[in-house]
Chains A and B, each alone.
Chain A
Amino acid sequence: MSIDMQQFNAVFFEEVSEHLTNMESLLLDIDVDSPNLEDLNAIFRAAHSIKGGAGIFGFDDMTEVTHILETLLDKLRKEELLLTTEMIDAFLQAGDILAEQKAVHQEGGDTVDESKIKAVCLLLETLSADKITPTTTPETTTFSPHQADKNISFLTSMEEDITALLEELSQLGHLTQSMIVEGEFHKWQIFLTKTSASNEDLIDSISFLAEPESILIEDVITDPAQCFGLFEEADSQETDFGFFDEPDSEEQQGFGLFDDVEEKPVQTKESAFGLFSDEKITPKAVENTKEQDNDPRPYGFLDGREEKEVKNKKTLTVKRTANKASSTGETSIRVNTEKVDQLINQVGELVITQAMLMQISSELDPSEHDVLLNRLTQLERNTRDLQESVMSIRMMPISFVFGRFPRVVRDLSNKLNKKIELKMIGNETELDKGLVEKLADPLTHLIRNSIDHGIEMPEDRIANGKPETGTITLFAFYEGGNVVISISDDGAGLNREKIIEKALERGMELSDTISDSEVYQLIFSAGFSTAEKVTDVSGRGVGMDVVKRNIHSMGGQVDIHSEAGVGSTISIRLPLTLAILDGMSISVAGQIYIIPLTFISESLQPKAEDIKTINGKGKVVKVRGDYIPLLALHELFNIDTEVTQASDGILVLLENNNKKIALLVDQLEGQQQVVLKSLETNFHTVPCISGATIMGDGKVALILDIAGLVSESE
């Protein structure tokens, strides 16, 4: 049986990311003083799912961290410990470590700093070792830890030192142990009394040292009312690790962990295969699970229906272990983006065909063909609807990026001893998946800037008559065909004088009448920083230029508004999707070219006397006192056209990287949104052309590469 593990790994990584995000947002929302048990359970489940998956796929470092994380979480959800802020911090740190470890497994690269892992693990262990006498008496809660006596046996190899394990176990309950030598193994018999640890916990602890197949735990049930909780039971089946390696021979052995499981080999077998496909869920398996559930369970935190659902999922797919207790997990499917893009292409073609039909039909006599014309109108409406729906597949809510900022704000404001509240409006605003992913870095940078430079220290704020807590507002909304994302703070605002001073220091030439917005644009120049001291948060002057470049590469624009003492707002304006570009269509000798609108600063019809030649070669055009190099598109592309003099055509002023050129074209055709297509797919890159698009009449128009044109003029 050959399984392409790569494929499963990818799914695992994706799920880990989901679980981590989920965990983090729950952790940030949780109320430390009275944590919601359901939230704690959800966090526990997330950690547990990661552990399960990591174990199966052999990412032992992740298993180790999650295990420790889980131990503490387990105590919390069983209310053996009370939640503290330190714990939340520790959990967040552990989440970061896991994310790093995941990244290492996924992309390769340096392994995560061992000492960092150790520090977090130690922190978690210390926290979970802090046994406190619960202030809430067990009677007040229905979730009191149940205690049981357990008979544990397992094999370890001769070399294994299990003192640490025994120590760990002895913390869980009263311990008596015995050991006999069996072949080349040590066989350990451990009797653990009054333990509240679940079988799953025990197995997890033991399996680090012992042969996983050999672990046998028997519950010595002293109280008939006590029985396995939801998790133990389900997890018992997860322990059949061995099935990947020796799917046939080891199957039975793997099942022999618990009596009740052994009796239902069919179901367990299905659970093993169910790892990879949900379709294996059969009514029979569900029934079996249900029967097994008949015992009264001490955990009452989920209603019966949900519980069953969780359990079914858990038994049947380890990787999906109850990550979502409700049905939300089933409302979406994963689809390859290529398939979506193909669909979008095909619908685009349909729209063009439909437009052609409309054009042909417009020549028909309306009275004779009214039925046909009616149907064509209907077709038009349907096509538009279809196009909209298809485009929306690629869209995802901006909350995917916004979701990470509460953490950023929390961490940074703690570090800088500032009090900051983050408001997020318009979480549900949707934009193209590709854009959402690319937005994360620039937005993080802007938020860090706002926290570090924008919001003042609490005492300064009070002195200035402002509320002690600063506010950063993230606001996303639609405007026309664009999405606008603004980051506002009620901080000190940009300091015009300081920026000008710095700019002059750096040898920039500024006119005396420079406007506020021009001053603010200066902070986007490379290496620019007005921070008096360089902190590890910001101030190195790297960043704003990168932010601007990133946003530009997405076809967007950045604007700044600021008022001293009141705050500043940075708005990012982006097209709804990466695949669509706002363009100006121009023509040379009848052929249409598209210029991305973001690069155009203006267009004008020059007077003949404004055109000057330099050294008899290059031409420049005088625009309001500035001389701008002139580039004639027909010369560059060797096209015969009637418009050879700049004064007969139109000059489009283009700006890239603070360099300007004036491009001579025959005429402007109009402004429109175009769908980007690659030339490279079937051809190769062409100098000064960044791509192509299909116009309404079905013809191909080329999109000019402005960066290429600007460097061409040099």
Chain B
Amino acid sequence: MRDNKRENEAENSFISEMGSSDDNGYLTFTLGEEEYAIDILTVQEIRGYDAVTTIANMPDFIKGVVNLRGIIVPIVDMRIKFNLGDVTYNEMTVVIILNVANRVVGMVVDGVSDVISLNESQIKEAPEFGAILDTQYLKGLGVIDDRMLILIDIENLMTSKEMALVEALVE
């Protein structure tokens, strides 16, 4: 059930190694061909996808709830939400457990790449995107070497009406 523990620990040790004060740490993950990054401090842990209990009459991207050490955590599939990547579930499917706005939420992505640090100068303003992701959920674009990362304001996104995860905004 918790084969991904090792992976999780590896991430944690990585986090503790980086530490320059000006830079912010980001966790990067992929959805289809695109590479995204979120603030590392919002990430609680990374685990595999299993034992999800479906909830009736929910939007299709809300996969259901899982038991995370005694607490009930909803799981959303970002691949379905943003229509990116192949929606398959196997041992390689990765769930990023986020801790945002005093809630714990699991987010399914195609894969977790690495933890990077970006300073202000490496973050460019985000251009208008179009329909997939409203710019209000974007912090900007991170440029590191020749990679381009889409920086998501994950707290804002997860508490948005669009994700249907928070009480007041349902219906």
Interface residues of A (CB under 8 A from B): 345-346, 348-349, 356, 591, 636-639, 677-689, 692, 694, 697-702
- Evaluate contact between B72 and A679: CB separation under 8 angstroms: yes
Bound together, the chains give a CA A345 to CA B105 distance in angstroms of 18
> Taking CB as reference atom, which chain B residue is nearest A342?
B70
Q: Indicate whether A681 sits within 8 Å of B71 (C-beta atoms), given known contacts A700-B53, A702-B53.
A: yes
Residues in B with CB closer than 8 Å to A346 are 69-70
Nearest CB of B to A640, in Å: 11
Interface code B129-141, partner A: CB below 8 Å = 1, 0 otherwise? 0000000000000
Residues in A with CB closer than 8 Å to B73 are 682
Q: Taking the complex as formed, is B21 at the interface, i.e. its CB lies under 8 A from any CB of chain A?
A: no
- Evaluate contact between B54 and A591: CB separation under 8 angstroms: yes
Q: Indicate whether A700 sits within 8 Å of B67 (C-beta atoms), given known contacts A682-B104, A683-B165.
A: yes
Residues in A with CB closer than 8 Å to B103 are 681-683
- Evaluate contact between B72 and A689: CB separation under 8 angstroms: no
- Evaluate contact between B166 and A699: CB separation under 8 angstroms: no
Q: Indicate whether A349 sits within 8 Å of B56 (C-beta atoms), given known contacts A356-B1, A700-B65.
A: no
Q: Indicate whether A700 sits within 8 Å of B72 (C-beta atoms), given known contacts A682-B104, A685-B167.
A: yes
Q: Taking the complex as formed, is B142 at the interface, i.e. its CB lies under 8 A from any CB of chain A?
A: no
Q: Indicate whether A682 sits within 8 Å of B167 (C-beta atoms), given known contacts A637-B57, A700-B66.
A: no
Q: Which of the listed residues A345, A680, A683 has the most CB atoms from chain B within 10 Å of its own CB?
A: A683
- Evaluate contact between A677 and B72: CB separation under 8 angstroms: yes
**Can you report 29 residue pairs joining A to B where beta carbons are below 8 Å apart?**
A345-B71, A346-B69, A346-B70, A349-B69, A356-B1, A591-B53, A638-B57, A677-B70, A679-B65, A681-B71, A681-B72, A682-B71, A682-B74, A682-B105, A683-B65, A683-B72, A683-B103, A683-B165, A684-B167, A685-B167, A689-B55, A692-B53, A692-B72, A694-B70, A698-B1, A698-B51, A699-B67, A700-B67, A700-B72
- Evaluate contact between A699 and B53: CB separation under 8 angstroms: yes
Q: Taking the complex as formed, is B10 at the interface, i.e. its CB lies under 8 A from any CB of chain A?
A: no
Residues in A with CB closer than 8 Å to B53 are 591, 692, 699-702
Nearest CB of B to A712, in Å: 12
Q: Indicate whether A692 sits within 8 Å of B65 (C-beta atoms), given known contacts A356-B1, A700-B72.
A: yes
**Nearest 3 pairs between A and B by C-beta?**
A637-B56, A684-B167, A345-B70
> Taking CB as reference atom, which chain B residue is nearest A701?
B53
Bound together, the chains give a CA A637 to CA B53 distance in angstroms of 13
Q: Which of the listed residues B53, B54, B170 has the most CB atoms from chain A within 10 Å of its own CB?
A: B53
> Taking CB as reference atom, which chain A residue is nearest B65?
A700
Nearest CB of A to B50, in Å: 9
Interface code B158-171, partner A: CB below 8 Å = 1, 0 otherwise? 00000001110010
Bound together, the chains give a CA A684 to CA B74 distance in angstroms of 9
Interface code B34-54, partner A: CB below 8 Å = 1, 0 otherwise? 000000000000000001011
Nearest CB of A to B107, in Å: 12
Nearest CB of B to A39, in Å: 47
> Taking CB as reference atom, which chain B residue is nearest A698?
B67
Nearest CB of A to B65, in Å: 5
Q: Indicate whether A687 sits within 8 Å of B54 (C-beta atoms), given known contacts A345-B70, A677-B71, A700-B65.
A: no
Residues in B with CB closer than 8 Å to A701 are 53
Q: Indicate whether A687 sits within 8 Å of B1 (C-beta atoms), given known contacts A679-B65, A682-B104.
A: no
Residues in A with CB closer than 8 Å to B72 are 677-679, 681-683, 692, 694, 700
- Evaluate contact between A684 and B166: CB separation under 8 angstroms: yes
- Evaluate contact between A349 and B167: CB separation under 8 angstroms: no
> Taking CB as reference atom, which chain A residue is nearest B54?
A591
Residues in A with CB closer than 8 Å to B70 are 345-346, 348-349, 677, 694
Q: Which of B51, B55, B69 contacts A686 (CB 8 A)?
A: B55
> Taking CB as reference atom, which chain B residue is nearest A675?
B70
- Evaluate contact between B167 and A680: CB separation under 8 angstroms: yes
Bound together, the chains give a CA A681 to CA B56 distance in angstroms of 18
Nearest CB of B to A655, in Å: 23
Bound together, the chains give a CA A697 to CA B66 distance in angstroms of 12
Residues in B with CB closer than 8 Å to A345 are 69-71
Bound together, the chains give a CA A689 to CA B58 distance in angstroms of 13
Q: Which of the listed residues A682, A687, A689 has the most CB atoms from chain B within 10 Å of its own CB?
A: A682
